[in-house]
Amino acid sequence: VAGLLYGVGVGPGDPELLTLRAARIIREAPVIAVPVTQADGDSYALGVVAPLITPEQRVLSLHFPMVKDTAARRAYRQAAAAAIASELDAGYDVAFLTEGDPLLHSTFIYVLEHLPAGTALEIVPGVTSIAAATAQAALPLVSGNQRLAVLPATFENVDELRGILGAFDTVVLLKFARVFDRLLDLLCELHLDRTSVVVERASHPAGRVVRDLEGLRGRPIHYLSLLIVQGGRERAGEVRA
């Protein structure tokens, strides 16, 4: 009998935010698959659950380097899916760990795209980085008829980003660390810098909430940070009025 693939969200970092189901599956699965960006690199998700793993379990590191070339990226994803499929074919259950939730901007989604049709699958949702960040900042995300957008902050199209900031009440920008200074310029231009907040490493003991965004200019920002911009739609309405 083929094994079952679990896509397991381990939450944002604090092991107390792991669900009971995730903990049980991680304890029971013979194979723990983890995405790494460097061939010999560490996995953040594995670090979160390290105390649950025993020497009898095998850890399968799957290499997902951050390369620009789309054909190369695809080849790595296919190789990862093939490695998982061969464990499943051999009858082993595999728990694929992801930080946060497995279906929100996660490597697991790429694996899913390349798995053979009919692969037996169970997804274990996780506390997202967005939920952890808003909790840490005690910041209501959206309410009533407000609108929420979530997007990676690639700076390929600034005009499009400007439009999105003006169309939503709350915009959550992921993966923004490398373009922060340019983003801050845009927020200042739109008078949204004071209603924005950066949450770095939400739920981690070294995590922090930063409301004075100017203080971050030119400084290194941890990759595990997100930026929440609020009031853009209202502001755009005032400008139009």
Ligand X SMILES: C[S@@+](CC[C@H](N)C(=O)[O-])C[C@H]1O[C@@H](n2cnc3c(N)ncnc32)[C@H](O)[C@@H]1O
**Per-residue x/- track, 185-204, ligand X (CB under 6 A):** --------------x-xxx-
Q: Per rule CB under 6 A, is residue 7 in the interface with ligand X?
A: no
Q: Shortest gap between Cβ of 94 and ligand X (angstroms)?
A: 18
Q: Please identify, among the stretches 27-35, 129-137, 159-167, 208-216, the one whose residues bind ligand X according to the rule CB under 6 A.
A: 129-137
Q: Per rule CB under 6 A, is residue 174 in the interface with ligand X?
A: yes
Please tell me the distance from the alpha carbon of residue 173 to that of residue 151, in angstroms, as a whole number: 5
Q: Which residues have CB under 8 Å from 122's CB, separation 6+?
A: 4, 5, 6, 7
Q: Per rule CB under 6 A, is residue 223 in the interface with ligand X?
A: yes
Nearer to ligand X, 61 or 203 (CB): 203
H or E segment and range at residue 95: strand 94-98
Q: Shortest gap between Cβ of 120 and ligand X (angstroms)?
A: 22
Q: 115-123: long-range contacts (C-beta < 8 A, 24 or more apart)?
A: 115/5, 115/81, 115/84, 115/85, 116/85, 119/2, 119/5, 119/85, 119/88, 120/2, 120/3, 120/4, 120/5, 120/88, 121/4, 121/5, 121/6, 121/7, 122/4, 122/5, 122/6, 122/7, 123/6, 123/7
Measuring CA to CA, which residue among 84, 83, 93, 97 is closest to residue 35? 97
Q: What are phi and psi of 120, to 5 degrees?
A: -75, 135
Q: Per rule CB under 6 A, is residue 124 in the interface with ligand X?
A: no
Q: Shortest gap between Cβ of 226 and ligand X (angstroms)?
A: 4
Please tell me the distance from the alpha carbon of residue 150 to that of residue 15, in angstroms, as a whole number: 25
Nearer to ligand X, 116 or 152 (CB): 152
Nearer to ligand X, 10 or 236 (CB): 10
Nearer to ligand X, 99 or 193 (CB): 99
Q: Per rule CB under 6 A, is residue 175 in the interface with ligand X?
A: yes
Please tell me the distance from the alpha carbon of residue 183 to that of residue 124, in angstroms, as a whole number: 34
Number of residues that bind ligand X (CB under 6 A): 23
Site residues for ligand X, window 77-116 (CB under 6 A)? Answer: 98-101, 104-106
Contacting ligand X (CB under 6 A), which of 43, 81, 92, 129?
129
Contacting ligand X (CB under 6 A), which of 94, 184, 192, 224?
224
**Binding region for ligand X (CB under 6 A):** 12-13, 98-101, 104-106, 128-129, 132-133, 174-175, 199, 201-203, 223-226
